[in-house]
Amino acid sequence: MDPEPIKWTDDDEEKLKELENRLSTAPVLSLSDLRKEFDLFVTTEKGVAYGVVTQEWGGCRKPIADISKLLDPVARGWPTCIQAVAATAILIEETQKLTLYGKIKVHIPHDLKTLLSQKAQQWLTDSRILKYKIVLMNSDNLELTISRSLNPAQFLSGEPLSEIEHDCLELVDFQTKTREDLDDIPLPYGKKLFTDGSSRVIEGKRISGYAVVEAVEGRDLQITEKGKLPSNWSAQCCEVYALKRGLDLLEGSQGTIYTDSKYAFGIVHTFGKI
């Protein structure tokens, strides 16, 4: 049986030329020299750890290996700087397979030692902290340096970020705050709203509803909005809906909303970013 002839189009020709061009311009990796120190450049992007291993050669650095590892699902949910701790530990372990545990100097735009000592406890289990400290801080053949300039690893994930320099502690606090404009401390200015929702059985019939009232200076509390809710709603659901209506009424302005529901309070401050 004769094979069918290949239909070669202009589009196929262009793709072939593009492939040839990429293959001819791809960076060439060099052989390592175990007598010399190794440099490991590390970065993270979208839950992936990228690393480039180089060695000094003739006044410049020649690439020895490009490494990329997908972080585990738990680590991918951490703030960027905390992800960098896990990424660096993973890439160091992979690099040591190539260097045969030779001297490695790590370049990364994060203060890993400060993160491990001040922020790790909030995100990492004790076993992870112990593992990362052993890999990153208790090795004689390892040196950690904070690099504020672009490094080769940042080009593996595409276009490097324009702003590299940052304070890790401040960035973690910013990324873990539910919303920049949300706080649990009352504001001394703006509107003051009180919300309440309830679901109870009255004379054998379940009745659900909500109300939003506003405190106006020099006047009594004024009902801003009230209404009935589906009878199959729980009391917690009614409280959350009342708080949501308070937020809707406060949209575009500043103020404080008070609720007597710890459940609704926790929902907003836990899932406010969503």
**pLDDT one-digit tens code per residue, 92-138:** 999 999 988 889 999 998 999 999 988 888 788 889 999 999 999 88
Residue 7 above 70 pLDDT?
Answer: yes
Residue 274 above 50 pLDDT?
Answer: no
- Cα 59 from Cα 65, distance rounded (Å): 19
Q: Are residues 221 and 109 in the same domain?
A: no
pTM, rounded to two decimals: 0.61
Looking at residue 225, its pLDDT comes to 94
Residue 233 above 80 pLDDT?
Answer: yes
- Cα 199 from Cα 133, distance rounded (Å): 52
Reported as a single tens digit per residue, the pLDDT across 153-184 is 877 776 666 566 788 888 887 777 767 778 88
Looking at residue 271, its pLDDT comes to 62
Looking at residue 144, its pLDDT comes to 92
Q: Are residues 55 and 131 in the same domain?
A: yes
C-alpha atoms less than 13 angstroms from C-alpha of 101 in its C-beta half-sphere: 3
Give the CATH number of the domain where residue 233 resides: 3.30.420.10
Reported as a single tens digit per residue, the pLDDT across 23-80 is 777 667 888 888 999 999 999 988 999 999 999 888 888 889 889 999 999 899 888 8
Q: Are residues 88 and 217 in the same domain?
A: no
Which DSSP string corresponds to 60-81? Answer: EEEEEEEEEEEPPHHHHTS-HH
Annotate 35-57 with b (16+ C-beta within 10 A) or e (fewer): eeebbbbbbbbebbbbbbbbbee
Contact 112, 144 (CB under 8 A): yes
Across 222-239, average pLDDT: 93
Check residues 163 and 5 and name the one with the higher pLDDT.
Answer: 5
- Residue 177's closest CA among 61, 269, 259? 269
Give the CATH number of the domain where residue 59 resides: 3.10.20.370
Strand residue runs (E) in 109-235: 142-146, 191-202, 205-214, 222-229
Residue 18 lies in a domain: no
* Burial (Cβ within 10 Å: 0-12, 13-18, ≥19) of residue 13: exposed
Looking at residue 163, its pLDDT comes to 63
In the listed set 124, 147, 176, which residue is the last one of a domain according to the structure? Answer: 176
Reported as a single tens digit per residue, the pLDDT across 213-228 is 999 887 788 999 999 9
Q: Are residues 165 and 195 in the same domain?
A: no
In the listed set 176, 211, 228, which residue is the last one of a domain according to the structure? Answer: 176
Q: Are residues 92 and 131 in the same domain?
A: yes
Q: Find the domain containing 82 and state its range.
A: 38-176
For residue 15, count other CB atoms closer than 10 A to its CB. Answer: 11
Q: Are residues 207 and 164 in the same domain?
A: no
